[in-house]
Amino acid sequence: MSDRLLELRQSNDVQNNAAELKLRLAEDGYLFFRRLLDPQRLLNLRREMLTLMQAGGWLVPGTDPIDGIANPDARSTEGDAEYTDVYHQVYRLQAFHEIAHCREVMDLLERVRGCPMMPQPQKVARLWFPKFTEHTTPIHQDFVHFQGTHDNLTCWSPIGDCPRELGGLAVLRGSHKVDRVLEHHFSLGAGSLHVDPAAHSELNDEWHTTDYEVGDTLIFPALTIHKALPNLTADRLRVSLDNRYQRVGDPIAEHMLNPHLSSMSPLTWDDVYEDWDSDDFQYYWNNLNNPVLPKITEYLDKAFDEAVQLTRNGDERAQLHLRRMAIRDPTSDQGKVALEVLAALG
């Protein structure tokens, strides 16, 4: 597969044309808009989020939080307890959850799908340290993680400008046309799952990305293959929104009704809402009666089995993955296996 990166196709010119939006989504597997979200609202949110990250030791003391100058001694990622401790402080922010409901996004998505839409309860922030490239989010399809239906839409927006070197998203144009969940394998990066486009002859090598600006939004369905670019900056955190939307009434996977990473460190919705001054968007999904589906575990179970075998064969990335699992949840079935495998290696 080629490493070339082409420019994302902008759709601001057809933002109010439902037929053209549907056609472009069907052709490209994504829609991209400049400044769909209010830049100032995002910058205000950025300051709130990074102020909490600085209090948690993630930023260099004495610097302006909005600059996101990372403390290299605090590097961590999803799966690390120290990451979740700070992340869940950020996750409690009312503004972070409310922005997922903004009319600019909701109106657009309802135009695209032609029916009422809803943000899934589990909102997500992505907070990535610089020069931590081995943990870059690998090539994958979102369905393996978030499930529900193939028609669900991901909306990704940087919270601040995000040039290529800071590590924005890239999408494989037209890859959703495979119309199925492809085989994923173990990866050390976020989500622990990776798909190899080169193994599928029907896929092209048209990776699309851009130098994102604050307010930009990339939208794609659950089967579109995508990846993060590595954060190659010297000292800047990459901060972004990463939320999912679905039709009202469509099935939702049970784990998407919980706060993000609450399976790694306890966090309830009551914890999240504790300091909010409005209940407008609290437990809103309880009134929508979406059928709830059990989580499909086979994707991550397979990845774990592969990590075990790779660890036994001396793969250091797989060993790191098992060490994290053993530390995070040593009493779970997989945690116990991880401990046994690591102990056998000394």
User: Which CATH number covers residue 138?
Assistant: 2.60.120.620
If we measure between CA atoms, which residue out of 102, 104, 115 comes closest to residue 247?
115
pTM score above 0.85: yes
d(CA 99, CA 123): 10
Domain boundary pick from 293, 308, 326? 293
Domain boundary pick from 254, 278, 293? 293
Q: Based on the fold, state whether residues 322 and 197 are members of the same structural domain.
A: no
Q: Based on the fold, state whether residues 238 and 317 are members of the same structural domain.
A: no
d(CA 179, CA 173): 14
Per DSSP, what are the bridge partners of residue 238? 128
Q: Based on the fold, state whether residues 128 and 223 are members of the same structural domain.
A: yes
d(CA 135, CA 127): 12
Q: Based on the fold, state whether residues 342 and 237 are members of the same structural domain.
A: no
d(CA 299, CA 185): 8
Q: Based on the fold, state whether residues 248 and 327 are members of the same structural domain.
A: no
226 and 169 Cβ atoms separated by less than 8 Å = yes
d(CA 328, CA 338): 11
Q: Based on the fold, state whether residues 320 and 262 are members of the same structural domain.
A: no
Q: Based on the fold, state whether residues 195 and 106 are members of the same structural domain.
A: yes
251's enclosing H/E stretch is none
Burial of 61 (0-12, 13-18, 19+ CB in 10 A): exposed
DSSP three-state, residue 63: coil
Per DSSP, what are the bridge partners of residue 219? 31, 155
Q: Based on the fold, state whether residues 68 and 214 are members of the same structural domain.
A: yes
Q: What is the pLDDT along the chain (346 residues), one digit of tens a residue?
A: 446 799 999 999 999 999 999 999 999 999 999 999 999 999 999 999 999 999 999 999 999 999 999 999 999 999 898 999 999 999 999 999 999 999 999 999 999 999 999 999 999 999 999 989 999 999 999 999 999 999 999 999 999 999 999 999 999 999 999 999 999 999 998 899 999 999 999 999 999 999 999 999 999 999 999 999 999 999 999 999 999 999 999 999 999 999 999 999 999 999 999 999 999 999 999 999 899 999 999 999 999 999 999 999 999 999 999 999 999 889 999 999 999 999 999 8
Split into its structural domains, the chain has a count of 2
Q: Based on the fold, state whether residues 44 and 98 are members of the same structural domain.
A: yes
Parent domain of 309: 297-346
β-pairing, 252-253 vs 292-293, is parallel
Q: Based on the fold, state whether residues 67 and 204 are members of the same structural domain.
A: yes
Q: Based on the fold, state whether residues 234 and 346 are members of the same structural domain.
A: no
Query: CB count, 10 Å around CB of 44?
Result: 15
